[in-house]
Amino acid sequence: MTIPLRGLEMRSTITADGVMDLRLVEAAVADPAADEVLVRMEATPINPTDIGLMFGPSDLGSLESGTADGLPRLTARVPAGAMSFLRLRLGQSLRVGVEGAGTVVGAGERMRHLEGRRVAVLGDGCFAQFRTISGDACLELPDDVSAAEGASALVNPLTALGIVETLRRNGGRAMVHTAAASSLGKMLVRLAAEEGIVLVNVVRRPEQAEMLQAIGAQHVLDSSAPDFKDRLVETIASTGAMTCFDAVGGKLTGRILWAMEQAASRSATSYSRYGTAAMKRAYVYGTLDPAPVEIGRGIGLTWSVSGWLLFDFLRDLDAVAQARLHDRVRDGVRTIFASEYGHPIGLADALSPEVVADYARRRTGPKVLIDPQLGLS
């Protein structure tokens, strides 16, 4: 194909006067360096992390649509109280979209073997018609895997594998996982079954619990149920799940740590003013609840709460370990690591206020998939 000199991509800016500006721009298509490839982007999902970058802490109730240079644009007000946290972001035009898939249409001299291949891509700027990126950031997909099937082949699958690896490094064989009805949660159910990990799944609604049970989840707790607290203690006591990977935050993190301490106290043989000696760990990797994480009393002093970020986990791996994870993802892209999508939308559609209102709710269900080539020349 003839490679155009310019292509469309999505950019997000927050200005010093408190305006979020999300727009499509026409940008130069960069020639790939020796270790880079040029990918014609054909499918890219809207992940929660993308929504966070797109809109930041702006008030979506103030969203206004318009155009800039003839291309779609959205603006919204950023609350004054949030501006102090954005000091290093102000005025920067940031590329949006953390992953996707497409066809390599150009390659540097050290990446010629990828030319013409379909690849999954991990790196900012995937909400674009074309993306020039390091070949090392690409996962070559099997011939029979479409771009849509490979679009979510990296962030959630590598997160699921990273969570299991982190648990094992701490000597754990059981864990609690919140927001478990998500795409990642369903992957973890399948992966845990294959890896022999005991998984305690926490969801927010009865229908989510039924959905997870239908795909084989053994331990599913509905946090809206009146007996949730008691059932959480009982399930942790029976499974020994003293590690939690929490995508919610807020009060839920502390409630789970409290339940772990209650479960651990059942096997204690003597009193200690410091609580039990059982180490209780919570890794907060998402903030679906925007309220501060609350850790109450009654959990003893043997505990830790920390953030968990996929990119930090990957940075600590050597090339051999990363290749091993990529092989695992490639082998399971249609099974363990499969994702569900609705009908694809175009880049311009993603800037429609009606469409934003739908995907910004971060609901459970099929993910929104962008086809960057759809509806644009």
As averages over each run of 10 residues, the pLDDT of the chain (377 residues) reads 85 98 97 97 96 96 96 97 94 98 97 98 97 96 97 98 98 98 97 98 97 98 98 98 98 98 95 96 94 95 98 95 96 96 95 94 84 82
**pLDDT at res. 366:** 87
Do both 63 and 120 map to the same domain? yes
In a domain, 92, yes or no: yes
Domain of residue 59 covers 6-151+341-370
**pLDDT at res. 377:** 52
**pLDDT at res. 361:** 81
Do both 119 and 252 map to the same domain? no
Do both 117 and 183 map to the same domain? no
Do both 182 and 299 map to the same domain? yes
Alpha-carbon torsion angle 51, 55, 59, 62, nearest 10: -110
Do both 271 and 360 map to the same domain? no
- Please, which residues have CB within 8 angstroms of residue 189's CB and are 6 or more apart in sequence? 180, 199, 201, 212, 215, 216, 217
**pLDDT at res. 5:** 84
In a domain, 182, yes or no: yes
**pLDDT at res. 364:** 75
Do both 283 and 221 map to the same domain? yes
In a domain, 328, yes or no: no
- Structure tokens, 221: 């707790």
- Structure tokens, 296: 């109450």
Do both 134 and 223 map to the same domain? no
Do both 146 and 243 map to the same domain? no
Evaluate whether 122 touches 98 at the Cβ level (below 8 Å): yes
In a domain, 156, yes or no: no
Do both 252 and 286 map to the same domain? yes
**pLDDT at res. 362:** 66
What's the domain count of the chain?
2
Residue 24 identity (one-letter amino acid): L
Of 206, 235, 240, 204, which is closest to residue 219 (Cα–Cα)? 235
**pLDDT at res. 164:** 98
CATH number at residue 285: 3.40.50.720
Do both 147 and 21 map to the same domain? yes
In a domain, 247, yes or no: yes
Do both 284 and 354 map to the same domain? no
What's the distance, Cα to Cα, between the start and end of the chain in Å?
14
CATH number at residue 109: 3.90.180.10
**pLDDT at res. 365:** 78
**pLDDT at res. 375:** 78
Instruction: Determine how β-strand 130-134 pairs with β-strand 36-45.
Output: antiparallel
- Residue 374 burial class via C-beta count within 10 angstroms: exposed 0-12, middle 13-18, buried 19 and up: middle
In a domain, 187, yes or no: yes
In a domain, 329, yes or no: no
In a domain, 158, yes or no: no
CA 67 to CA 57: how far, in whole Å? 22
CA 288 to CA 47: how far, in whole Å? 13
Do both 348 and 264 map to the same domain? no
